[in-house]
Amino acid sequence: MNLFEEFIKEFKDLENKNNEKFESISKLVNDVGVSLTKPYMYASVELDEAVKKLKIRAKEPMKVAITGQFSSGKSTFLNALLAKNILPTGITPVTSKVNYIRYGDEFSIMVRYKDGREAFFQVENIANFTDQRNAATDDIDYITLYAPLELLKDIIFVDTPGLNSQSFSDTTTTEAVLKEVDGIIWLSLIDNAGKMSEAEVLEKFMHSYQNKSLCVLNQKDKFSKEQIEQTSKYVEHSFKKYFSKVIPISAKQAVEARSNKKETLLEESFENSIKKLKKSMIDDNYTIKKQTLEDIAEEFSKQSEALSKANAAHNETLLKESNIEAVFSFIYEEIQPIAISAKEFAITQDIKLLIETLIEQEEKIISIHEELENILHEYMKDTLKTFDELKRRFAKALNESFAKIEEIIEKIAAEILSKKIASQRVRYAKTKAGLFGGKEVFTAHKYEAPKINADEVYKKLFFDDDLVGKMFKQYLKSLEVIQDEVNLQNAQIFKNLEAKVLEWQKPYELIRKNKSLHSDIQFANIRRFASKSYENILKPFGDEISGSFAKISSEFKHVGSLVKFNYQNATEVVVAFLERRIENSIKLYEENPTKFSIYEPKLDEIKERLRTAFHIYELENLMRSNRSFVGKNYDRLAEEFAKINKDRIELILKSKNEYVKLRGKLNLLLETI
């Protein structure tokens, strides 16, 4: 394989290296993200953002915080790790902001302001934004330093203000960072290590991070081997509950050695070659020319050969004396395995929390539907009982009203009978004169026959006293009272449902999500569903009750009209019938008194005739039977209400089942994690 081919292979390997890390957790996040943001999930903007953050986090390298007391050399130590003097150093607490040090294609800094603005600057300007001696840092939230160093593809370093800074906000900011990172490097000067002030800070802030913390004792170049060993052992023994390991280093030696290290210089050369390659791709409309690649590869090859000939013995000795490689070993051998495991656990827990939050949302919406569903179930159960109670109640009322007609008939019959008088009449019968017959002669025979004084009947019942008219008015009034009460009770039946549904509706037509991850669209749909509860739920019941008003009014009108406009005529018909029957019986009697008798009206017969004339049997069927017209109305209402209720519940279930399906999908997704 020639140098050109090796260069291209290395380029591709470096491009793919970071994508291969955390593959399983990244796949999980991607798969879950696809499921949670499908169109039918109506994902909120916040949920989309949360998923995006998880995807970034899954691919993100581990984070290692650099902390300690101020003036412990944190910035110098970071410069050593970066192999460049980038971060400003000083004897005062220089770092006033959290600095994130990440991989980037080129050196640059991004400043994030407290108002959300972001601005990019050249790396040479970093002191303007990190040094607390500069007043311009007050509006800055944090700074990100981007550097094209291979190390940063595996690690994000977090440079923090000192924990014993005089600024309360600096201390609280650092404390918050320590809870989020995968590893912590506590930096202390060898001559300050183990002092009371440091012990107090460690006890206050570092008591729960022992499994991911390394203590680095800086400035070993200033002390003898015996002093270094003595201090290291003391710190290991005294502070073992805070740190997994204690490593003495010289950040100053490390900066000098790493910045001039052949590998570092070679890396810089390689990064420059990559930048040139990318620029040429952009200039040539994202195509790679073979000649360009060969030129870049040849230039890189020459630089590599020049660096390989350089004498690196001094740098190697300096690097070894600095002991910085022990820090890298701890990061990769101790922190990284824990970080990967912790990241997988943390991201999995966050995913579960996302799903559980969405399940909670679906359960809330389902419970809203079930509240309405239960209202209809309970209402229907209570209403059917009410219908039965009203059916019995009004059956009794109609029976009492019907009894008034019976009283009227009794009164009319008694009055007719009381106006019956005995009239003196004469009949003539043929007889033969003499003992042995002879000439026929007519003999007068006096007899009494009943007579109905119709004028007196009518005068008593309909004209002067108007007894029957008054009784019928009372009867019709009783019907009106029953009718009004039926309509009132029916209206109340609807009002009972209306009150319950509107009480349910009130909070839900204004409901808003109480968690940002919840779906704005789903809650908007619930508000719309609730706002249409009258149209979708109440109106069919209300229409049925309104329809019953017309039916009841018509039936009561029919019952009243059967006698209202007929009672005088019916009485006259009965009186006329009695008169005809008396006359017919008189004729028959006069023709053959031995065979026929004169008809004598009886009270029961008069009442029966009046019942027929008054359509009493039709009225009795309407008012006194087990299925009176009011009873039939309640039977019909019960049947129609049951149909409407079933239909409305099906409508609610249709809406609810959409959310039940979503909950099922989310539960299944949760089970697979």
Taking the CB of residue 75, how many other CB atoms lie within 10 A of it? 23
Residue 513, domain member (yes or no): yes
Residue 364, domain member (yes or no): yes
% of the chain exceeding 90 in pLDDT: 32
Residue 577, domain member (yes or no): yes
Domain count, the chain: 1
Residue 657, domain member (yes or no): yes
301, 307, 308 from 311: Cα distances, Å: 18, 9, 8
Q: Flag whether pLDDT at 478 surpasses 60.
A: yes
Residue 623, domain member (yes or no): yes
Per residue in 532-570, pLDDT tens? Answer: 999 999 999 999 999 999 999 999 988 888 777 677 888
Characterise 145 by phi-psi region: left (phi > 0), alpha (psi -120 to 50), beta (else): beta
Residue 464, domain member (yes or no): yes
Residues 368 and 356: their CA atoms lie apart, in Å, by 18
Per residue in 282-296, pLDDT tens? Answer: 666 656 666 677 777
Closest to 61 in 3D by CA, of 168, 156, 133, 191: 156
Per residue in 38-90, pLDDT tens? Answer: 999 999 999 999 999 888 888 888 888 888 776 677 778 888 877 777 776 65
**Torsion angle defined by CA atoms of residues 477, 481, 484 and 487, in that order, rounded to the nearest 10 degrees:** -130
535, 622, 655 from 650: Cα distances, Å: 15, 36, 9
Q: Flag whether pLDDT at 517 surpasses 70.
A: yes
pLDDT higher at 208 or 617: 617
Residues 39 and 518: their CA atoms lie apart, in Å, by 14
Beta-strand ranges (E) seen in 329-467 are 420-432, 440-452
Per-residue burial over 441-479, b if 16 or more Cβ lie within 10 Å, else e, is: eeeeeeeebbbbbbeebbebbbeeeeebeebbeebbebb
pLDDT higher at 291 or 446: 446
Residue 598, domain member (yes or no): yes
Which pLDDT score is estimated for 641? 96
pLDDT higher at 465 or 216: 216
Domain extent at residue 663: 353-672
Residue 144, domain member (yes or no): no
Amino acid sitting at position 558 = H
Residues 588 and 583: their CA atoms lie apart, in Å, by 9
- Residue reference for tokens 């000192």: 162
Q: Flag whether pLDDT at 95 surpasses 70.
A: no
Confidence of residue 8 (pLDDT cuts 50, 70, 90): very low
Confidence of residue 493 (pLDDT cuts 50, 70, 90): very high
Per residue in 356-394, pLDDT tens? Answer: 999 999 999 999 999 999 999 999 999 999 999 999 999
